[in-house]
Amino acid sequence: MSPLAPFGARLRHAMDTRGPLCVGIDPHAALLSAWGLDDDVAGLERFTRTVVEALAGQVAVFKPQSAFFERFGSRGTAVLERAVADLREAGGLVVMDAKRGDIGSTMAAYAETYLRPGAPLFSDALTVSPYLGYGSLKPAVDLARESGTGLFVLALTSNPEGAEVQHAVRTEDPAGRTVGATMLARLAAENAGQEPLGSFGAVVGATLGDLSSYDLDINGPLLAPGIGAQGATPADLPAVFGAAVRNVVPNVSRAVLSAGPDATALRAAAERYADEVRAAAGA
């Protein structure tokens, strides 16, 4: 497909052809140690290169966690830049997990960093935080539309602390919706009329149980962390996401990465999870 096609269309194609799976690239100190690597730039580079070489041609979506690269300063960011470029060259889609959120020109600068073609960290999509108000994301929304990229907006996250904000009821909302439900409604409006899938997704935890009280039909992707080490399984997805399960992008990090550093084992773990998700979603 053309790289200028909207992110939602490219994502649908990637999931249909490579399998519905997102592998998180989270090189934290404990994982580097488990691989027999030092917690330094050399270890970071070796880890990242191994994951990219093993999985770039197989997995649909990759979600590098920017913080684990940023902690090494400019040299760590250089490793991330190369990984993003190599993953995309091999046909993988990259969702940069940076959870950026700000206002005005600062939000615009964050958008330029990740969503402007030609930028060193240019990615297919970016995770963003809407908790300065959904409208604060407008610079990122506008650039994503222009560049054919996407956003994943934090809506119903898997961390327990998120509930105090995301489940709070907005008293000024005539419908009495929660903050999380409001975010879902805003995303549905962004995606209206888009085929085969909108480019503006929500982050919704796979560990949250029954979400039937929320309208997850946003005509866009639902990035679902929590599978594997956090306790959720692919078999849980239909009960959590209901009819929207086909649009779920399940993220697995440690459960795949812990199979390394052997490349064959990494590929086998990723394939197993993709098959399990495909079976659960009836894809």
Taking phi first (over 0 means left), then psi (-120 to 50 degrees means alpha), and beta for anything else, what does residue 25 get? beta
Q: Which of 13, 28, 99, 267 is catalytic?
A: 99
The structural domains of the chain, with segments of one domain joined by +, span 7-281
CATH architecture label of 7-281: Alpha-Beta Barrel (3.20)
Asked if 24 and 253 touch (Cβ cutoff 8 Å), the reply is yes
Q: Find, among 114, 73, 63, 72, the residue nearest to 249 by Cα.
A: 63
Per-residue pLDDT tens digits for 112-146? 999 999 999 999 999 999 999 999 999 999 999 99
Confidence at residue 2, expressed as pLDDT on a 0 to 100 scale: 45
Asked if 170 and 178 touch (Cβ cutoff 8 Å), the reply is yes
Q: What share of the chain is helix, strand, coil (3-state, %, to 5)?
A: 50, 15, 35
Per-residue pLDDT tens digits for 42-54? 999 999 999 999 9
Q: Find, among 219, 211, 212, the residue nearest to 186 by Cα.
A: 219
3-state secondary structure of 151: strand
Per-residue pLDDT tens digits for 222-254? 999 999 878 899 999 999 999 999 999 999 999
DSSP H or E stretch at residue 108: helix 104-115
Q: Is 138 a catalytic site residue?
A: no
Residue whose tokens read 């929320």 = 214
Per-residue pLDDT tens digits for 137-196? 999 999 999 999 999 999 999 999 999 999 999 988 888 999 999 999 999 999 999 999
Q: How many residues does the chain have?
A: 283
3-state secondary structure of 167: coil
Per-residue pLDDT tens digits for 191-225? 999 999 999 999 999 999 999 999 999 999 999 99
261: preceding bond cis by omega (within 30 degrees): yes
